[in-house]
Homo-oligomer: A and B are copies of this chain.
Amino acid sequence: MSNRTEIATLGEFGLIRHLTEKIELKNRSSVKGVGDDAAVLDYTDKQVLVTTDLLLEGIHFDLMYVPLKHLGYKSAIVNFSDIYAMNGRPKQITVSLGISKRFCIEDLEEFYAGIQLACDIYGVDLVGGDTSASRTGLAISITCIGEGEKGKVVYRSGAKETDLICVSGDLGAAYMGLQLLEREKSVFKGEKDFTPDFSGKEYLLERQLKPEARKDIVEALEQAGIIPTAMMDVSDGLSSELLHISKASDVGCRIYEERIPIDYQTAMMAEQFNMNLVTAALNGGEDYELLFTVPLTDHDKVQAMKGIKVIGHITKPELGNYLVGRDGGEVELRAQGWNSLA
């Protein structure tokens, strides 16, 4: 970056003003945005959905290979994804940052540019937030507020026996992208002249560095007249999310290995890294695809939808949670998600 303006030149209030002064509110429900003690929203005829995420440097992201603009974009997207996972529409976000001295104003402008890009694409208003110092790494706290139609909000707890289990897109690619970046980072550390070779793996990097939230799927479900019985986004990995739905709905599930959607690049990469492909797809995390269940009577409707795969079905709770392999063998699903506390 060519310029470097120290944050002290603006001060805390100057900084947040500088970063937010060009923001224009788009949504009818955004009454008052940045610049008061609280944002003011109007949700007269809707239900209000609220989700929040705290992202910490060294735990949730590594600035060695994540550009700040991408980080801003992804930070917003992961929150939008939670709102879509309730069958809702994200409408507002607030962004709080804890920043250490090594960041300059241009860095934060980059981060905010990513946030703003995500907001523009998904029709979301940035309505609040603040910046403060951090003793150590970058801390990002985002809260997203969305609207849900009364009676159409979808919880984790509504899955019923015989329901079909569906998933959007494909799984495991974001995890493979992370493996790729981690490998290149360790190679990079050992060599002086080094240009990472990512050709043929662009999709994996994109899934890791610039994921999207499945607005299109939520809209397609609405157009098809489908209200899922349960829904979640796949952030910790398919296994972990399925177990959440089973627990919350008091059911069991069977999914089929051969039906799990996996991209060609993901499969190639697993081969190259000598990793188990199904494990990566089940436990990888950060896919931000939608996992949902629909009544058996919606079978033809979901079959007709683009980008949706039926991967199994809901069972009685006493039948447990299993993956049926290509050979017909059954393996119990376990939560091996990204449990950063374990």
Contacts and interface: CB of A to CB of B under 8 A. Distances in A.
Contact of A51 (B37, B49, B139): B37
Contacts of A57: 135
Interface string A282-322: 00000000000000000000000000000000000000000
A127 B50 contact: yes
Contacts of A97: 54
A218 interface: no
Interface residues of A, number: 75
A339 B12 CA distance: 6
Interface string A37-53: 11111111101111111
Contacts of A162: none
Given A132-B59, A342-B12, A38 B54 contact: no
A339 B7 CA distance: 12
B134 A56 contact: yes
22 contacts: A11-B339, A15-B341, A35-B156, A36-B156, A36-B157, A38-B49, A38-B50, A38-B85, A39-B49, A40-B49, A41-B48, A50-B92, A50-B94, A50-B128, A50-B145, A53-B96, A54-B139, A58-B135, A94-B143, A98-B139, A132-B341, A133-B341
**Minimum-distance CB pairs A-B, first 7:** A141-B141, A38-B51, A54-B96, A41-B48, A37-B85, A37-B82, A58-B135
